[in-house]
Chain A
Amino acid sequence: MERSMHLTVNGKQTTLITDPSRSLLDVLREELHLTGTKYGCGKSECGACTVMIGDEAVRSCYEDVGDVKDRAITTIEGLSSGETLHAVQEAFLAEGALQCGYCTPGMIMRTVGLLTVDPRPSDEKIISWMNPNICRCGAYPKIMNAIRRASRLMSEVTSK
Chain B
Amino acid sequence: MTAKLFLKTSSSARERAIFSPGKDGEAGDVGSIVDAAGCSQAEKGPLEARSSFQTEPKTLLGGTPVNPSAGAEGPEFDPSRRLFLQMLGAGLVITVLPDVSPGQRRSGGSGPAATVGARLQINRQGVVTVLTGKVEEGQGARAELTQAAAQELRLPVEQVRMVMADTDLVPNDGITAGSRTTPVNVPSVRKAAATARELLKGLAARAWQVDPKTLTVRDGVITQRQGGQTLSYADLARSQDLAEVFKAQIPADVTLTEVAPGDVLGRSVPRPNGRDLVTGRHQYPRDKTAPNMLYGKILRPPSYGATLLAIDLTPARALPGVRVVREGQFVGCVAPSTFRATEALKAIAKTATWKEVPAPSSQALYAHLKRNARPGRRPREHQRGSLDTGFAEATKVLTESYRVAYVQHAPMEPRSATAQWTGDKLTVWTGTDNPHRVRADLARSLGISHEQVRLIVPDMGGGFGGKHSGEAALEAVRLARAVGQPVAVQWTRTEEFTWAYFRPAALIECKAGVNAEGGLCAWDFTNINAGGSALEPPYAIPHSRARTLGSDGPLRQGAYRGLAATANNFARESFIDELAAAAGRDPLAFRRSHLNNERVRVVLEKAVKEFNWEERSQRITPELGVGLACGTEKNSVVATCAEVAIDRRRGRIKVLHVAEAFECGPIINPANLESQVQGCIAMGLGGILREAMAFDKGAILNPSFGKYQVARFEDMPTIDVHLVANHKIPAAGGGETPLIAIAPAVANAVAAATGVRIRSMPMRPELHRLRVRS
Contact: B705 with A138, CB < 8 Å?
Answer: no
Q: Closest approach, in angstroms, between the C-beta of B236 and any C-beta of chain A?
A: 32
Q: Closest approach, in angstroms, between the C-beta of B338 and any C-beta of chain A?
A: 6
Please report whether the interface of chain A is mostly helix, strand, loop or mixed according to DSSP: loop
Q: Is A102 an interface residue when CB atoms closer than 8 A count as contact? A: yes
Q: Which of A34, A130, A137 has the most CB of B within 10 A?
A: A137
| Other-chain residue from A18, A99, A134 in contact with B138 (beta carbon distance below 8 A) | A99
Q: Is B675 an interface residue when CB atoms closer than 8 A count as contact? A: yes
Q: Is B615 an interface residue when CB atoms closer than 8 A count as contact? A: no
Q: Is B413 an interface residue when CB atoms closer than 8 A count as contact? A: yes
Contact: B459 with A138, CB < 8 Å?
Answer: no
Selected A-B contacts with CB under 8 Å, 22 pairs: A42-B493, A43-B704, A45-B493, A85-B275, A85-B278, A96-B671, A96-B672, A99-B462, A100-B462, A101-B282, A102-B460, A127-B713, A131-B713, A133-B713, A134-B412, A134-B712, A136-B410, A136-B462, A138-B680, A140-B682, A141-B716, A144-B713
Contact: A93 with B270, CB < 8 Å?
Answer: yes
CA distance A22 to B342 in the complex (A): 11
CA distance A135 to B714 in the complex (A): 12
Give 5 closest A-B pairs by Cβ, nearest first. Answer: A36-B280, A138-B682, A102-B461, A100-B138, A101-B277
Contact: A139 with B675, CB < 8 Å?
Answer: yes
CB 8 Å contact bits of A73-109 with B (1 = contact, 0 = none): 0011101100001000100110010111111110010
| B411 / chain A contacts, CB cutoff of 8 Å | 100, 102, 136
Contact: B339 with A101, CB < 8 Å?
Answer: no
CB 8 Å contact bits of A121-152 with B (1 = contact, 0 = none): 00000111011011111111110100000000
| Other-chain residue from A35, A96, A142 in contact with B283 (beta carbon distance below 8 A) | A35
Closest A-chain residue to B286, C-beta based?
A39
CA distance A99 to B361 in the complex (A): 35
Q: Is B198 an interface residue when CB atoms closer than 8 A count as contact? A: no
Q: Closest approach, in angstroms, between the C-beta of B113 and any C-beta of chain A?
A: 26
| B409 / chain A contacts, CB cutoff of 8 Å | 136
CA distance A105 to B286 in the complex (A): 15
Q: Is B139 an interface residue when CB atoms closer than 8 A count as contact? A: yes
Q: Closest approach, in angstroms, between the C-beta of B118 and any C-beta of chain A?
A: 28
| A38 / chain B contacts, CB cutoff of 8 Å | 284, 286, 412-413, 461
CA distance A137 to B681 in the complex (A): 10
The A19-47 residues at the B interface (CB cut-off 8 A) are 19, 22-23, 26, 29-31, 33-43, 45-46
CB 8 Å contact bits of B129-160 with A (1 = contact, 0 = none): 00000000111100000000000000000000
Q: Is B706 an interface residue when CB atoms closer than 8 A count as contact? A: yes
Interface residues contributed by chain B, number (CB under 8 Å): 58
Q: Is A48 an interface residue when CB atoms closer than 8 A count as contact? A: yes
Closest B-chain residue to A78, C-beta based?
B280
Q: Is B115 an interface residue when CB atoms closer than 8 A count as contact? A: no
Contact: B675 with A96, CB < 8 Å?
Answer: yes
Q: Given the known A-B contacts A41-B705, A98-B277, are A138 and B711 also in contact in the complex, defined by CB atoms under 8 Å?
A: yes
The B394-416 residues at the A interface (CB cut-off 8 A) are 409-414
| Other-chain residue from B274, B280, B713 in contact with A37 (beta carbon distance below 8 A) | B280
| A46 / chain B contacts, CB cutoff of 8 Å | 412, 493, 705
CA distance A142 to B679 in the complex (A): 10
Q: Is B230 an interface residue when CB atoms closer than 8 A count as contact? A: no
Closest A-chain residue to B138, C-beta based?
A100
Contact: B682 with A104, CB < 8 Å?
Answer: no
Contact: A76 with B280, CB < 8 Å?
Answer: yes
The B631-679 residues at the A interface (CB cut-off 8 A) are 671-672, 675-676, 678-679
The B268-317 residues at the A interface (CB cut-off 8 A) are 268, 270-271, 274-275, 277-284, 286-287, 289, 295
Contact: B278 with A89, CB < 8 Å?
Answer: yes
Contact: B275 with A93, CB < 8 Å?
Answer: yes
Q: Is B571 an interface residue when CB atoms closer than 8 A count as contact? A: no
| A140 / chain B contacts, CB cutoff of 8 Å | 678, 682, 711, 713, 716
Q: Is B353 an interface residue when CB atoms closer than 8 A count as contact? A: no
Q: Closest approach, in angstroms, between the C-beta of B322 and any C-beta of chain A?
A: 14
CB 8 Å contact bits of B490-533 with A (1 = contact, 0 = none): 10110000000000000000000000000000000000000000
Q: Closest approach, in angstroms, between the C-beta of A21 and any C-beta of chain B?
A: 8
Contact: B279 with A85, CB < 8 Å?
Answer: yes
CA distance A103 to B676 in the complex (A): 16
Q: Is B683 an interface residue when CB atoms closer than 8 A count as contact? A: yes
Q: Given the known A-B contacts A40-B493, A131-B713, A142-B678, are A100 and B412 also in contact in the complex, defined by CB atoms under 8 Å?
A: yes
CA distance A102 to B409 in the complex (A): 15
Contact: A137 with B277, CB < 8 Å?
Answer: no
Q: Closest approach, in angstroms, between the C-beta of B536 and any C-beta of chain A?
A: 28
Q: Which of A45, A46, A100, A103 has the most CB of B within 10 A?
A: A100
CA distance A135 to B676 in the complex (A): 13
The B37-95 residues at the A interface (CB cut-off 8 A) are none
Contact: B675 with A135, CB < 8 Å?
Answer: no
Q: Given the known A-B contacts A43-B705, A131-B713, A136-B412, are A99 and B278 also in contact in the complex, defined by CB atoms under 8 Å?
A: no
Q: Which of A26, A39, A89, A133 has the most CB of B within 10 A?
A: A39
CA distance A53 to B413 in the complex (A): 24
| A100 / chain B contacts, CB cutoff of 8 Å | 137-138, 411-413, 459-462
| B164 / chain A contacts, CB cutoff of 8 Å | none
| Other-chain residue from A35, A42, A98, A138 in contact with B271 (beta carbon distance below 8 A) | A98
| Other-chain residue from A19, A37, A48, A92 in contact with B412 (beta carbon distance below 8 A) | A48
Contact: B493 with A41, CB < 8 Å?
Answer: yes
Closest A-chain residue to B706, C-beta based?
A45
Contact: A139 with B278, CB < 8 Å?
Answer: no
| B493 / chain A contacts, CB cutoff of 8 Å | 40-43, 45-46
17 extra A-B contacts, CB within 8 A, seeds A128-B713, A141-B719: A26-B337, A26-B339, A35-B280, A35-B283, A39-B490, A40-B412, A40-B414, A43-B704, A79-B279, A92-B278, A93-B278, A99-B138, A100-B137, A102-B411, A131-B713, A140-B713, A141-B678
Q: Is B710 an interface residue when CB atoms closer than 8 A count as contact? A: yes
| A23 / chain B contacts, CB cutoff of 8 Å | 339
